[in-house]
Structure 1
Amino acid sequence: MAAGGNPLLNNNPVFTGRARDGRAGYAPTPPQNPYGQSPYGQAGYGQNPYGQPNDLQDLYNRPSATPSQTGRMTFDDVIVKTSMTLGLVVVGAAIGWFVPGLMLIGMIGGLILGLVNSFKRETAPALILAYAALEGLFLGGLSGFLERIYPGIVVQAVIGTLSVFAVTLLLFRSGKVRATPRAMKFFMIALAGYALFSLVNLGLMVFGVTNGMFGLHSAHIPGTSIPWGVVIGLLAIGLAAFSLIVDFTSISEGVRNGVPARFAWTAAFGLTVTLVWLYVEILRLLAILRGND
């Protein structure tokens, strides 16, 4: 529209080409051009002066960014990171199997790094991988020791661990088992009680108060031939299985809420800790059962 058609622009020297005193001044009135052209060399209607698409429909038709492209955690991230940690556990176990003397180093080092990774504010992949390797040394030495006493026990423990993991995952996927707030309260109480019992049992074994291979686990329930270790072991396996439910719940909520991708390492660490604990409990329960035959 020409400037003369607008009374607000009619007296403006920028658009009229004349100064207030009537002399020519300011920028001259730009020449009128047909629609679709620009007096300044810019694109007119239907064109974009910056070379970008001006049709919003093109933007809407583009695929949405994936979680990995936006730096968010995905299930694939957790699977890859967990595979890396468990792979190091297996490698460390192979070394510990043939070098039993490294079992003590793995046990102490794994315990220290486990606590560090649990309370560390920032995720440290290197420390998580180091924890997995040390735990592997411990598991390798322990497994080799028990395998020489009870042949075939390691294969049984591995199958048992994988079976519990698979059943727990299926129950979680079906929605029949969830880490509800009420269940978490009972879990934390039972876990604290079991941790206290384990510390007491370890102290009794260190100071020679108990003579059994597994301390109080090897003692029999009064009036029966059933070791306490069977009952306690089943309880511990149940706690480890529910700990898997807690891990699965945390991972699902993290993916749904779009937490940063670095937390995939935290999820992998949690799963590794739980699976190591589950394997040790199953291995000990099998050893108690076979030693009681």
Structure 2
Amino acid sequence: MKTSNPVLARLGQAAERERAAGYAPTGPYGQPGYPQQYPPQAGYPGAPGSPSAPPAVTPMSIDDVVVKTVTLLAILGVTAAAAWALVPNALLGAAWIGAAVVGLVIGLIISFSRMANPALVVAYALVEGVLVGAVSKFFELRYPGIVIQAVVATFGVFFVMTMLYKARVIRATPKFTKGLIAVMAGLFAVMLINFVLAMVGVNTGLRGDGEGGANALAIGFSVICIVVASLSFVLSFNEVEEGIRLGLPQRYSWVAAFGILVSLIWLYIEMLRLLSYFQGDD
């Protein structure tokens, strides 16, 4: 089974190993029906009638990904609400930065790990809940009503991208995938450099005037981030489809849900920033 996504290719190899141990793949939407490609040899674990045959591994399906995504969003929402209520206003910045750093570390571990780890994915949702709660409270204190606007805009974009992908208006071709990943890496590098400069007192204007005010550079950068974050859903949806096609085990639905969650959080925070640029201080 071939795929242009290196992560899915790696996971697909893991699925092949499990399949060789006695797991039969399924159809494109999780239904059984495709013949087993690598039947175990007689006398080996997994062979029919073998007393040591391992139990069948349940393959992931779209429903699995939906359930896991909703679960992670619920965890994120509860943690964000707790952070909003419990973190004092004076400590919002510290909570924001601390959660961002810890979340980045966990996210990188998940992204480069060769195994699906539900505990790490849940931990990521918990940490990012603190980040989202602190960021949301910070912006809401300055611009009342901005959080609900950002939430509506975020999920509105998500549903639009879902419809566009379902209608095949936008597809994750190899060229599209490589280009988008390169742009995302570039944006991440720019944001990291800007963060380091801000820590030493250098304001580049990339994230506002220093007091949250708008400028053309900040607005343009946020618009670019929103566009790229929106397009990243295409990669996530493609990973779900390819994961099902490759017959990945059910636990990999946590990885697929993680990808969707990352894009939602990024899009939401950028929506908050962009909306704040067009709202004056009272």
Report the TM range for the smaller structure's normalisation: 0.7 to 0.9
The answer on whether the counterparts of 1:230 and 1:289 sit within 8 Å (CA) in structure 2 is: no
Instruction: Pick the structure with greater CA Rg.
Output: 1
The answer on whether the counterparts of 1:154 and 1:283 sit within 8 Å (CA) in structure 2 is: yes
Matched, 1:260 2:249: yes
The answer on whether the counterparts of 1:113 and 1:127 sit within 8 Å (CA) in structure 2 is: yes
The one-letter code of the counterpart of 2:241 is S
The answer on whether the counterparts of 2:116 and 2:255 sit within 8 Å (CA) in structure 1 is: yes
Higher RCO (CA 8 Å, separation ≥ 6 residues): 2
Matched, 1:228 2:217: yes
The answer on whether the counterparts of 2:172 and 2:235 sit within 8 Å (CA) in structure 1 is: yes
Deviation at 1:72, TM superposition (A): 0.7
SS of 1:259's equivalent? coil
Matched, 1:141 2:134: yes
- The aligned counterpart of 1:39 is none
The answer on whether the counterparts of 2:206 and 2:221 sit within 8 Å (CA) in structure 1 is: no
Structure 2: distance between partners of 1:244 and 1:108: 23
The answer on whether the counterparts of 1:217 and 1:227 sit within 8 Å (CA) in structure 2 is: no
Structure 2: distance between partners of 1:70 and 1:169: 29
Structure 2: distance between partners of 1:74 and 1:205: 44
Query: Which ranges in structure 2 are unaligned for 5 or more consecutive residues?
Result: 1-30, 35-55
- The aligned counterpart of 2:173 is 180
SS of 1:205's equivalent? helix
Query: Which ranges in structure 1 are unaligned for 5 or more consecutive residues?
Result: 1-63
Q: CA RMSD in A?
A: 2.3
Structure 1: distance between partners of 2:169 and 2:262: 24
The answer on whether the counterparts of 2:171 and 2:234 sit within 8 Å (CA) in structure 1 is: yes
Deviation at 1:106, TM superposition (A): 2.2
- The aligned counterpart of 1:154 is 147
Count of residue pairs the alignment pairs up: 222
The one-letter code of the counterpart of 1:240 is A
Q: Please, what TM-score do these two structures have when normalized by structure 2?
A: 0.73
Structure 2: distance between partners of 1:156 and 1:289: 13
Aligned with 1:128 (options 121, 134, 142)? 121
Cα deviation code 1:102-131 (max 9, x no counterpart): 434422221221111111111111111011
Structure 2: distance between partners of 1:168 and 1:291: 30
For residues 25-36 of structure 1, what are the structure 2 equivalents within 5 Å?
Answer: none
- The aligned counterpart of 2:24 is none
Matched, 1:202 2:192: no
The answer on whether the counterparts of 1:103 and 1:141 sit within 8 Å (CA) in structure 2 is: yes
Matched, 1:73 2:60: yes
- The aligned counterpart of 2:39 is none
Matched, 1:84 2:74: no
Structure 2: distance between partners of 1:94 and 1:181: 39
SS of 2:207's equivalent? helix
Structure 1: distance between partners of 2:32 and 2:239: 23
Aligned with 2:80 (options 93, 116, 119)? 93
Instruction: Evaluate the alpha carbon distance shift between residue 233 and residue 80 of structure 1 in structure 2; reply closer, same or farther with a 3 A threshold.
Output: same
- The aligned counterpart of 1:4 is none
Aligned with 2:111 (options 115, 118, 121)? 118
Structure 2: distance between partners of 1:87 and 1:174: 28
Aligned with 1:279 (options 265, 268, 272)? 268
Cα deviation code 1:75-106 (max 9, x no counterpart): 11101111111111001100111123443442
The answer on whether the counterparts of 1:105 and 1:134 sit within 8 Å (CA) in structure 2 is: no
The answer on whether the counterparts of 1:72 and 1:260 sit within 8 Å (CA) in structure 2 is: yes
Aligned with 1:288 (options 271, 277, 282)? 277
Aligned with 2:101 (options 94, 105, 108)? 108
Instruction: Evaluate the alpha carbon distance shift between residue 166 and residue 180 of structure 1 in structure 2; reply closer, same or farther with a 3 A threshold.
Output: same
Structure 1: distance between partners of 2:57 and 2:119: 24
Deviation at 1:195, TM superposition (A): 1.3
The answer on whether the counterparts of 1:219 and 1:228 sit within 8 Å (CA) in structure 2 is: no
Q: Please, what TM-score do these two structures have when normalized by structure 1?
A: 0.71
State the percentage of identical aligned residues.
38
Deviation at 1:282, TM superposition (A): 0.8
The one-letter code of the counterpart of 2:126 is A
